[in-house]
Structure 1
Amino acid sequence: MLYTPRMTIPRVGDQHSQTDQQRKADDVQAMFASIAHRYDLLNRVLSLGVDRGWRRAAAQEALLLHPHDLLDVATGTADFALELKRRSPATTVTGSDFVPQMLDIGRAKARTQHLDIRLEEGDALHLPYPDASFDTVTCAFGFRNFSDYARGLAEFWRVLRPGGRCVILEFPPPAPGVFGSIFRFYFQHILPRIGGLVSGNAGAYTYLPESVLAFPAPDRLAGLMVATGFRTRYRLLTFGIAAIHVGDKR
Protein backbone atom coordinates (compact mmCIF):
# COMPACT_ATOMS: atom_id res chain seq x y z
CA MET A 1 0.00 0.00 0.00
CA LEU A 2 1.12 3.60 -0.67
CA TYR A 3 1.09 5.64 2.51
CA THR A 4 0.24 9.34 2.69
CA PRO A 5 0.20 10.86 6.20
CA ARG A 6 -2.80 12.85 7.41
CA MET A 7 -0.83 14.77 10.03
CA THR A 8 2.70 15.87 10.82
CA ILE A 9 4.49 13.21 12.86
CA PRO A 10 7.04 14.40 15.43
CA ARG A 11 10.66 13.46 15.11
CA VAL A 12 11.05 10.56 17.52
CA GLY A 13 14.65 11.35 18.42
CA ASP A 14 13.98 14.98 19.44
CA GLN A 15 12.65 13.98 22.85
CA HIS A 16 15.97 12.46 23.88
CA SER A 17 19.12 14.30 24.79
CA GLN A 18 22.36 13.46 23.04
CA THR A 19 23.55 11.89 26.29
CA ASP A 20 20.53 9.56 26.39
CA GLN A 21 21.10 8.61 22.75
CA GLN A 22 24.75 7.83 23.35
CA ARG A 23 23.91 5.77 26.42
CA LYS A 24 21.41 3.70 24.44
CA ALA A 25 23.93 3.22 21.63
CA ASP A 26 26.62 2.08 24.07
CA ASP A 27 24.24 -0.34 25.81
CA VAL A 28 23.03 -1.85 22.52
CA GLN A 29 26.59 -2.21 21.24
CA ALA A 30 27.73 -4.03 24.40
CA MET A 31 24.65 -6.27 24.42
CA PHE A 32 25.05 -7.45 20.83
CA ALA A 33 28.79 -7.97 21.31
CA SER A 34 28.00 -10.34 24.18
CA ILE A 35 25.62 -12.53 22.13
CA ALA A 36 27.39 -12.35 18.75
CA HIS A 37 28.58 -15.98 18.91
CA ARG A 38 25.00 -17.30 19.26
CA TYR A 39 23.13 -14.64 17.33
CA ASP A 40 22.40 -16.64 14.14
CA LEU A 41 21.32 -19.76 16.04
CA LEU A 42 18.99 -17.76 18.23
CA ASN A 43 17.38 -16.06 15.23
CA ARG A 44 16.55 -19.46 13.72
CA VAL A 45 15.29 -20.95 16.99
CA LEU A 46 13.25 -17.99 18.16
CA SER A 47 11.54 -17.38 14.80
CA LEU A 48 11.13 -21.10 14.00
CA GLY A 49 12.97 -20.40 10.75
CA VAL A 50 10.29 -18.02 9.47
CA ASP A 51 12.79 -15.13 9.41
CA ARG A 52 14.40 -16.61 6.28
CA GLY A 53 11.18 -16.12 4.34
CA TRP A 54 10.93 -12.55 5.59
CA ARG A 55 14.47 -11.85 4.39
CA ARG A 56 13.68 -13.34 0.98
CA ALA A 57 10.67 -11.05 0.61
CA ALA A 58 12.72 -8.01 1.66
CA ALA A 59 15.54 -9.00 -0.71
CA GLN A 60 13.11 -9.09 -3.64
CA GLU A 61 12.07 -5.50 -2.88
CA ALA A 62 15.68 -4.38 -2.41
CA LEU A 63 16.87 -5.85 -5.70
CA LEU A 64 13.85 -4.99 -7.82
CA LEU A 65 15.55 -1.94 -9.35
CA HIS A 66 18.78 -3.85 -10.05
CA PRO A 67 21.09 -1.76 -7.85
CA HIS A 68 24.77 -1.50 -8.68
CA ASP A 69 25.81 -0.40 -5.17
CA LEU A 70 23.89 -1.53 -2.08
CA LEU A 71 24.42 -0.71 1.61
CA ASP A 72 23.06 -2.94 4.37
CA VAL A 73 22.94 -0.89 7.59
CA ALA A 74 23.10 -2.60 11.01
CA THR A 75 24.15 -5.70 9.09
CA GLY A 76 25.06 -7.69 12.23
CA THR A 77 26.52 -11.04 11.20
CA ALA A 78 25.71 -10.20 7.57
CA ASP A 79 22.87 -12.70 7.04
CA PHE A 80 20.89 -10.26 4.92
CA ALA A 81 23.93 -8.84 3.10
CA LEU A 82 24.96 -12.36 2.08
CA GLU A 83 21.40 -13.16 0.97
CA LEU A 84 21.45 -10.08 -1.25
CA LYS A 85 24.82 -10.97 -2.76
CA ARG A 86 23.69 -14.55 -3.50
CA ARG A 87 20.64 -13.25 -5.30
CA SER A 88 22.47 -10.52 -7.20
CA PRO A 89 26.16 -11.40 -7.78
CA ALA A 90 26.67 -8.31 -9.94
CA THR A 91 25.66 -5.96 -7.11
CA THR A 92 28.42 -4.49 -4.94
CA VAL A 93 27.18 -5.16 -1.39
CA THR A 94 28.54 -3.29 1.63
CA GLY A 95 27.48 -4.12 5.18
CA SER A 96 27.90 -1.58 8.00
CA ASP A 97 27.59 -2.20 11.74
CA PHE A 98 29.00 -0.73 14.95
CA VAL A 99 29.64 -4.11 16.66
CA PRO A 100 33.06 -5.45 15.56
CA GLN A 101 32.34 -8.92 16.97
CA MET A 102 29.31 -9.26 14.70
CA LEU A 103 31.31 -8.14 11.67
CA ASP A 104 34.05 -10.69 12.39
CA ILE A 105 31.46 -13.48 12.27
CA GLY A 106 30.01 -12.04 9.07
CA ARG A 107 33.44 -11.99 7.41
CA ALA A 108 34.01 -15.64 8.35
CA LYS A 109 30.61 -16.56 6.86
CA ALA A 110 31.40 -14.67 3.66
CA ARG A 111 34.69 -16.56 3.27
CA THR A 112 33.00 -19.91 3.88
CA GLN A 113 30.27 -19.12 1.36
CA HIS A 114 32.77 -17.68 -1.16
CA LEU A 115 30.80 -14.44 -1.43
CA ASP A 116 32.58 -11.13 -1.95
CA ILE A 117 31.00 -8.44 0.25
CA ARG A 118 32.53 -5.54 2.16
CA LEU A 119 31.86 -5.40 5.90
CA GLU A 120 32.81 -2.13 7.58
CA GLU A 121 32.43 -0.64 11.03
CA GLY A 122 30.17 2.41 11.14
CA ASP A 123 27.53 4.29 13.11
CA ALA A 124 24.08 4.16 11.47
CA LEU A 125 23.33 7.73 12.61
CA HIS A 126 26.57 9.04 11.09
CA LEU A 127 27.22 6.78 8.11
CA PRO A 128 30.84 7.03 6.90
CA TYR A 129 29.90 7.41 3.24
CA PRO A 130 29.58 10.42 0.91
CA ASP A 131 26.21 11.71 -0.26
CA ALA A 132 24.53 9.73 -3.06
CA SER A 133 26.85 6.71 -2.76
CA PHE A 134 24.31 3.87 -3.09
CA ASP A 135 21.37 2.81 -5.25
CA THR A 136 19.73 0.88 -2.39
CA VAL A 137 19.95 0.99 1.41
CA THR A 138 18.57 -1.88 3.50
CA CYS A 139 18.17 -2.51 7.21
CA ALA A 140 16.91 -5.86 8.51
CA PHE A 141 15.92 -6.10 12.18
CA GLY A 142 18.30 -3.34 13.23
CA PHE A 143 16.34 -0.15 12.76
CA ARG A 144 14.45 -0.39 16.06
CA ASN A 145 17.80 -0.24 17.88
CA PHE A 146 18.51 3.26 16.56
CA SER A 147 18.41 5.92 19.26
CA ASP A 148 16.96 8.42 16.76
CA TYR A 149 14.75 7.04 13.97
CA ALA A 150 14.41 10.35 12.13
CA ARG A 151 18.19 10.80 12.09
CA GLY A 152 18.66 7.27 10.78
CA LEU A 153 16.17 7.87 7.96
CA ALA A 154 17.88 11.16 7.12
CA GLU A 155 21.18 9.28 6.78
CA PHE A 156 19.55 6.66 4.53
CA TRP A 157 18.21 9.49 2.36
CA ARG A 158 21.58 11.27 2.28
CA VAL A 159 23.62 8.29 1.06
CA LEU A 160 21.01 7.24 -1.52
CA ARG A 161 21.25 8.36 -5.12
CA PRO A 162 18.21 10.04 -6.72
CA GLY A 163 15.79 7.29 -7.69
CA GLY A 164 17.28 5.02 -5.03
CA ARG A 165 15.38 2.72 -2.70
CA CYS A 166 15.33 2.14 1.07
CA VAL A 167 14.00 -1.18 2.45
CA ILE A 168 13.43 -1.71 6.19
CA LEU A 169 12.49 -5.14 7.56
CA GLU A 170 11.46 -4.93 11.18
CA PHE A 171 9.25 -6.23 14.01
CA PRO A 172 6.30 -3.87 14.57
CA PRO A 173 4.50 -3.86 17.93
CA PRO A 174 1.93 -6.69 18.16
CA ALA A 175 -1.42 -5.62 16.75
CA PRO A 176 -4.60 -5.70 18.86
CA GLY A 177 -6.54 -8.95 18.80
CA VAL A 178 -6.12 -12.59 19.74
CA PHE A 179 -3.03 -13.28 17.65
CA GLY A 180 -1.39 -10.07 18.82
CA SER A 181 -2.03 -11.05 22.44
CA ILE A 182 -0.52 -14.49 21.90
CA PHE A 183 2.51 -13.00 20.19
CA ARG A 184 2.92 -10.40 22.95
CA PHE A 185 2.84 -13.16 25.59
CA TYR A 186 5.46 -15.16 23.65
CA PHE A 187 7.70 -12.11 23.26
CA GLN A 188 7.47 -11.01 26.88
CA HIS A 189 7.52 -14.33 28.73
CA ILE A 190 8.80 -17.20 26.57
CA LEU A 191 11.35 -15.61 24.25
CA PRO A 192 13.51 -14.10 27.06
CA ARG A 193 13.80 -17.48 28.76
CA ILE A 194 14.79 -19.35 25.59
CA GLY A 195 17.14 -16.57 24.51
CA GLY A 196 18.77 -16.35 27.92
CA LEU A 197 19.22 -20.13 28.10
CA VAL A 198 20.86 -20.41 24.67
CA SER A 199 22.90 -17.20 24.73
CA GLY A 200 23.76 -16.95 28.41
CA ASN A 201 22.54 -13.35 28.42
CA ALA A 202 18.95 -13.09 29.63
CA GLY A 203 19.12 -9.29 29.55
CA ALA A 204 19.61 -9.26 25.79
CA TYR A 205 16.35 -11.10 25.24
CA THR A 206 14.50 -8.99 27.74
CA TYR A 207 15.60 -6.00 25.68
CA LEU A 208 14.21 -7.52 22.46
CA PRO A 209 10.51 -7.47 23.44
CA GLU A 210 10.96 -4.08 25.08
CA SER A 211 12.42 -2.65 21.89
CA VAL A 212 9.61 -4.11 19.78
CA LEU A 213 6.86 -2.79 22.05
CA ALA A 214 8.46 0.68 21.99
CA PHE A 215 8.87 0.71 18.19
CA PRO A 216 6.52 2.86 16.06
CA ALA A 217 3.51 1.11 14.55
CA PRO A 218 3.80 0.47 10.78
CA ASP A 219 1.76 3.50 9.74
CA ARG A 220 3.76 5.76 12.04
CA LEU A 221 7.08 4.50 10.67
CA ALA A 222 5.69 5.07 7.18
CA GLY A 223 4.86 8.63 8.23
CA LEU A 224 8.41 9.20 9.41
CA MET A 225 9.69 7.96 6.05
CA VAL A 226 7.31 10.27 4.17
CA ALA A 227 8.44 13.18 6.35
CA THR A 228 12.02 12.41 5.32
CA GLY A 229 11.02 12.65 1.65
CA PHE A 230 10.45 9.01 0.68
CA ARG A 231 7.53 7.81 -1.43
CA THR A 232 6.55 5.02 0.92
CA ARG A 233 4.57 1.78 1.05
CA TYR A 234 4.60 -1.15 3.45
CA ARG A 235 3.18 -4.61 3.96
CA LEU A 236 2.79 -6.90 6.95
CA LEU A 237 4.17 -10.45 7.04
CA THR A 238 2.98 -13.54 8.98
CA PHE A 239 -0.06 -11.97 10.63
CA GLY A 240 1.85 -8.77 11.35
CA ILE A 241 4.81 -10.28 13.18
CA ALA A 242 7.15 -8.55 10.71
CA ALA A 243 6.78 -5.68 8.28
CA ILE A 244 8.59 -4.48 5.16
CA HIS A 245 8.70 -0.74 4.53
CA VAL A 246 9.87 0.44 1.10
CA GLY A 247 10.84 4.05 0.48
CA ASP A 248 11.81 5.42 -2.94
CA LYS A 249 13.85 8.63 -3.26
CA ARG A 250 11.89 10.36 -6.01
Structure 2
Amino acid sequence: MTYDAEKIVPYSDSESKGAQVERMFDSIAGNYDILNRTMSMGIDISWRKKGLSMLKKLNPQTILDIATGTGDLAIQAYDTLKPQSILGIDISEGMIEVGRKKAAKAGLSDKISFAKEDCMALSFSDNSFDAAMVAFGVRNFEDLDKGLKEILRVLKPGGQLMILELTVPAHFPMKQGYWLYTNLFIPTIGRIISKDKTAYSYLPKSIQAFIQGKDMINTLLKNGFTEASYKTYTMGTCSMYLASK
Protein backbone atom coordinates (compact mmCIF):
# COMPACT_ATOMS: atom_id res chain seq x y z
CA MET A 1 0.00 0.00 0.00
CA THR A 2 1.20 3.51 -0.80
CA TYR A 3 0.37 6.31 1.64
CA ASP A 4 -0.03 9.94 0.58
CA ALA A 5 2.88 11.07 2.76
CA GLU A 6 5.19 8.69 0.89
CA LYS A 7 4.49 10.66 -2.28
CA ILE A 8 5.45 14.00 -0.69
CA VAL A 9 9.14 14.72 -1.34
CA PRO A 10 11.33 17.76 -0.62
CA TYR A 11 12.76 18.29 -4.07
CA SER A 12 11.76 16.33 -7.18
CA ASP A 13 10.55 12.95 -8.38
CA SER A 14 13.91 12.12 -9.92
CA GLU A 15 15.26 10.27 -6.86
CA SER A 16 13.90 8.25 -3.94
CA LYS A 17 12.22 9.90 -0.99
CA GLY A 18 14.85 8.46 1.37
CA ALA A 19 17.71 10.03 -0.56
CA GLN A 20 15.95 13.40 -0.68
CA VAL A 21 15.09 13.37 3.03
CA GLU A 22 18.71 12.52 3.85
CA ARG A 23 19.96 15.43 1.74
CA MET A 24 17.38 17.79 3.19
CA PHE A 25 18.26 17.04 6.81
CA ASP A 26 21.97 17.20 6.08
CA SER A 27 21.31 20.67 4.70
CA ILE A 28 19.41 21.99 7.74
CA ALA A 29 21.26 20.09 10.50
CA GLY A 30 23.21 23.11 11.74
CA ASN A 31 20.09 25.21 12.24
CA TYR A 32 17.63 22.45 13.06
CA ASP A 33 17.50 22.84 16.85
CA ILE A 34 16.91 26.58 16.83
CA LEU A 35 14.33 26.22 14.06
CA ASN A 36 12.58 23.41 15.93
CA ARG A 37 12.37 25.37 19.18
CA THR A 38 11.20 28.51 17.39
CA MET A 39 8.48 26.76 15.43
CA SER A 40 7.18 24.61 18.28
CA MET A 41 7.59 27.35 20.89
CA GLY A 42 9.18 24.71 23.11
CA ILE A 43 6.00 22.61 23.40
CA ASP A 44 7.77 19.65 21.79
CA ILE A 45 9.70 19.11 25.05
CA SER A 46 6.46 18.43 26.95
CA TRP A 47 5.23 16.14 24.16
CA ARG A 48 8.40 14.06 24.45
CA LYS A 49 8.02 13.91 28.23
CA LYS A 50 4.45 12.64 27.93
CA GLY A 51 5.39 10.06 25.33
CA LEU A 52 8.34 8.75 27.33
CA SER A 53 6.18 8.43 30.43
CA MET A 54 4.21 5.75 28.56
CA LEU A 55 7.33 3.55 28.47
CA LYS A 56 8.07 3.76 32.20
CA LYS A 57 6.10 0.63 33.17
CA LEU A 58 8.13 -1.40 30.69
CA ASN A 59 11.40 -0.21 32.28
CA PRO A 60 13.31 -0.73 29.01
CA GLN A 61 17.07 -1.17 29.29
CA THR A 62 17.94 -1.16 25.59
CA ILE A 63 16.21 1.49 23.47
CA LEU A 64 16.35 2.20 19.75
CA ASP A 65 15.61 5.82 18.82
CA ILE A 66 14.67 5.88 15.14
CA ALA A 67 14.97 9.07 13.10
CA THR A 68 16.83 10.43 16.11
CA GLY A 69 17.77 13.67 14.35
CA THR A 70 19.93 15.70 16.73
CA GLY A 71 19.24 13.35 19.63
CA ASP A 72 16.70 15.36 21.63
CA LEU A 73 14.46 12.37 22.36
CA ALA A 74 17.42 10.10 23.16
CA ILE A 75 18.82 12.55 25.70
CA GLN A 76 15.41 13.16 27.26
CA ALA A 77 14.78 9.39 27.33
CA TYR A 78 17.93 8.78 29.31
CA ASP A 79 16.98 11.44 31.85
CA THR A 80 13.48 9.97 32.18
CA LEU A 81 14.01 6.21 31.90
CA LYS A 82 17.67 5.67 32.89
CA PRO A 83 18.20 2.66 30.58
CA GLN A 84 21.49 0.84 30.14
CA SER A 85 21.86 2.13 26.60
CA ILE A 86 20.17 4.10 23.86
CA LEU A 87 21.09 3.86 20.19
CA GLY A 88 19.98 6.78 18.04
CA ILE A 89 19.80 6.09 14.32
CA ASP A 90 19.13 8.36 11.36
CA ILE A 91 19.77 8.46 7.62
CA SER A 92 21.33 11.93 7.97
CA GLU A 93 24.95 11.91 9.09
CA GLY A 94 24.75 15.68 9.52
CA MET A 95 21.96 15.38 12.07
CA ILE A 96 23.52 12.59 14.13
CA GLU A 97 26.86 14.39 14.24
CA VAL A 98 25.04 17.23 16.03
CA GLY A 99 23.48 14.59 18.28
CA ARG A 100 26.87 13.12 19.18
CA LYS A 101 28.14 16.54 20.23
CA LYS A 102 25.03 17.16 22.34
CA ALA A 103 25.33 13.77 24.08
CA ALA A 104 29.02 14.40 24.75
CA LYS A 105 28.25 17.83 26.20
CA ALA A 106 25.67 16.22 28.49
CA GLY A 107 28.22 13.61 29.60
CA LEU A 108 26.19 10.78 28.09
CA SER A 109 28.48 9.44 25.36
CA ASP A 110 28.83 6.15 27.26
CA LYS A 111 25.05 5.76 27.43
CA ILE A 112 23.86 7.18 24.10
CA SER A 113 25.47 6.18 20.81
CA PHE A 114 24.57 7.08 17.25
CA ALA A 115 24.72 5.29 13.91
CA LYS A 116 23.69 6.00 10.37
CA GLU A 117 20.95 3.49 9.52
CA ASP A 118 18.06 3.27 7.10
CA CYS A 119 14.99 2.00 8.95
CA MET A 120 13.85 0.31 5.74
CA ALA A 121 16.67 -2.23 6.25
CA LEU A 122 18.07 -2.20 9.79
CA SER A 123 21.36 -3.99 10.37
CA PHE A 124 20.38 -5.33 13.81
CA SER A 125 19.49 -8.89 14.74
CA ASP A 126 15.94 -9.95 15.51
CA ASN A 127 14.75 -9.29 19.06
CA SER A 128 17.51 -6.80 19.92
CA PHE A 129 15.74 -3.97 21.78
CA ASP A 130 13.33 -3.63 24.70
CA ALA A 131 11.74 -0.51 23.23
CA ALA A 132 11.80 1.62 20.10
CA MET A 133 10.69 5.21 19.62
CA VAL A 134 10.23 7.70 16.80
CA ALA A 135 9.64 11.40 17.39
CA PHE A 136 8.36 13.46 14.46
CA GLY A 137 10.06 11.26 11.88
CA VAL A 138 7.73 8.43 10.93
CA ARG A 139 6.03 10.54 8.26
CA ASN A 140 9.41 10.78 6.52
CA PHE A 141 9.65 7.01 6.05
CA GLU A 142 10.03 6.09 2.40
CA ASP A 143 7.84 3.02 2.93
CA LEU A 144 5.78 3.11 6.15
CA ASP A 145 4.77 -0.57 6.11
CA LYS A 146 8.33 -1.72 5.49
CA GLY A 147 9.72 0.55 8.20
CA LEU A 148 7.19 -0.63 10.79
CA LYS A 149 7.89 -4.28 9.97
CA GLU A 150 11.61 -3.69 10.48
CA ILE A 151 10.99 -2.02 13.83
CA LEU A 152 8.80 -4.96 14.88
CA ARG A 153 11.54 -7.40 13.85
CA VAL A 154 14.24 -5.84 16.03
CA LEU A 155 11.99 -5.45 19.08
CA LYS A 156 12.08 -8.18 21.71
CA PRO A 157 8.82 -10.05 22.39
CA GLY A 158 6.78 -7.84 24.69
CA GLY A 159 8.74 -4.77 23.59
CA GLN A 160 6.98 -1.51 22.84
CA LEU A 161 7.07 1.13 20.13
CA MET A 162 6.27 4.73 21.03
CA ILE A 163 5.66 7.20 18.21
CA LEU A 164 5.17 10.95 18.47
CA GLU A 165 3.96 12.68 15.32
CA LEU A 166 2.59 16.06 14.39
CA THR A 167 -1.03 15.87 13.33
CA VAL A 168 -3.75 18.11 11.93
CA PRO A 169 -6.44 19.16 14.44
CA ALA A 170 -9.94 18.08 13.47
CA HIS A 171 -12.08 20.88 14.84
CA PHE A 172 -12.64 24.62 14.46
CA PRO A 173 -10.97 26.97 15.31
CA MET A 174 -7.77 25.02 15.93
CA LYS A 175 -7.93 23.36 12.50
CA GLN A 176 -8.01 26.72 10.71
CA GLY A 177 -5.34 28.23 12.98
CA TYR A 178 -3.11 25.22 12.39
CA TRP A 179 -3.46 25.64 8.63
CA LEU A 180 -2.22 29.23 8.90
CA TYR A 181 0.60 28.18 11.21
CA THR A 182 1.90 25.37 9.01
CA ASN A 183 1.38 27.03 5.63
CA LEU A 184 2.51 30.56 6.47
CA PHE A 185 4.47 30.73 9.74
CA ILE A 186 6.65 27.61 9.36
CA PRO A 187 7.78 28.29 5.75
CA THR A 188 8.45 31.95 6.58
CA ILE A 189 10.58 31.18 9.64
CA GLY A 190 12.32 28.42 7.69
CA ARG A 191 13.27 30.81 4.90
CA ILE A 192 14.63 33.35 7.40
CA ILE A 193 16.77 30.95 9.42
CA SER A 194 17.54 28.05 7.09
CA LYS A 195 19.53 28.01 3.88
CA ASP A 196 17.22 25.30 2.52
CA LYS A 197 13.94 27.04 1.68
CA THR A 198 12.40 23.88 0.29
CA ALA A 199 12.71 21.93 3.55
CA TYR A 200 10.23 24.09 5.40
CA SER A 201 7.69 23.85 2.64
CA TYR A 202 8.05 20.05 2.59
CA LEU A 203 7.58 19.59 6.35
CA PRO A 204 4.05 21.10 6.59
CA LYS A 205 2.97 19.19 3.49
CA SER A 206 4.22 15.93 4.97
CA ILE A 207 2.22 16.56 8.17
CA GLN A 208 -0.99 17.21 6.26
CA ALA A 209 -0.54 14.11 4.08
CA PHE A 210 0.29 11.66 6.87
CA ILE A 211 -2.28 9.25 8.31
CA GLN A 212 -3.36 9.81 11.89
CA GLY A 213 -5.59 8.52 14.66
CA LYS A 214 -7.43 5.28 13.93
CA ASP A 215 -5.84 4.99 10.48
CA MET A 216 -2.40 4.88 12.08
CA ILE A 217 -3.62 2.36 14.68
CA ASN A 218 -4.92 0.11 11.90
CA THR A 219 -1.57 0.39 10.09
CA LEU A 220 0.34 -0.63 13.22
CA LEU A 221 -1.96 -3.63 13.72
CA LYS A 222 -1.74 -4.60 10.05
CA ASN A 223 2.04 -4.71 10.32
CA GLY A 224 2.08 -7.08 13.28
CA PHE A 225 1.88 -4.86 16.35
CA THR A 226 -0.64 -5.50 19.13
CA GLU A 227 -2.34 -3.45 21.85
CA ALA A 228 -2.07 -0.30 19.75
CA SER A 229 -3.51 2.91 21.21
CA TYR A 230 -3.13 6.65 20.83
CA LYS A 231 -3.55 9.97 22.62
CA THR A 232 -3.58 13.50 21.29
CA TYR A 233 -1.95 16.54 22.85
CA THR A 234 -2.33 20.32 22.53
CA MET A 235 -5.77 20.26 20.91
CA GLY A 236 -4.80 17.61 18.38
CA THR A 237 -1.56 19.09 17.06
CA CYS A 238 0.48 16.10 18.26
CA SER A 239 -0.42 12.42 18.55
CA MET A 240 1.29 9.72 20.58
CA TYR A 241 0.97 6.10 19.48
CA LEU A 242 1.91 3.11 21.65
CA ALA A 243 2.03 -0.48 20.40
CA SER A 244 3.52 -3.78 21.53
CA LYS A 245 5.20 -6.76 19.89
Task: Identify whether the pair has TM-score above 0.5, normalized to the shorter chain.
Answer: yes
Identity across aligned pairs (percent)? 35
CA distance in 2, matches of 1:184, 1:91: 41
- SS of residue matched to 2:83: coil
CA distance in 1, matches of 2:83, 2:236: 33
Stretches of structure 2 that go unaligned for 5 or more consecutive residues are: 8-12
| Structure 1 runs, 4 residues or longer, greater than 4 Å off | none
CA distance in 2, matches of 1:23, 1:51: 29
**1:22 Cα deviation from its structure 2 partner:** 5.8
- SS of residue matched to 1:64: helix
CA root-mean-square deviation: 1.7
1:190-201 to 2 correspondences below 5 Å: 190-201=185-196
Residue 232 of structure 1 aligns with an amino acid whose one-letter code is: A
Residue 159 of structure 2 aligns with an amino acid whose one-letter code is: G
Provide the TM-score with structure 1 as the length reference.
Answer: 0.90
User: 1:159 aligns to what?
Assistant: 154
User: 1:64 aligns to what?
Assistant: 57
Match of 2:94 among 89, 98, 101: 101
- Give the conservation status (yes or no) of the 8 Å contact 1:12–1:150: no
CA distance in 2, matches of 1:219, 1:21: 33
1:168-207 to 2 correspondences below 5 Å: 168-207=163-202
- Give the conservation status (yes or no) of the 8 Å contact 1:174–1:184: no
- Give the conservation status (yes or no) of the 8 Å contact 1:136–1:165: yes
| Cα 1:215–1:145 shift into 2, 3 Å | same
Stretches of structure 1 that go unaligned for 5 or more consecutive residues are: 1-9
CA distance in 1, matches of 2:240, 2:92: 24
Kindly indicate whether residue 237 of structure 2 is the aligned counterpart of residue 244 of structure 1. Answer: no
User: 1:92 aligns to what?
Assistant: 85
**1:11 Cα deviation from its structure 2 partner:** 5.8
Residues 204-233 of structure 1: CA distance to partner in whole angstroms, max 9, x if unpaired?
100011100110022111110011122200
CA distance in 2, matches of 1:221, 1:127: 22
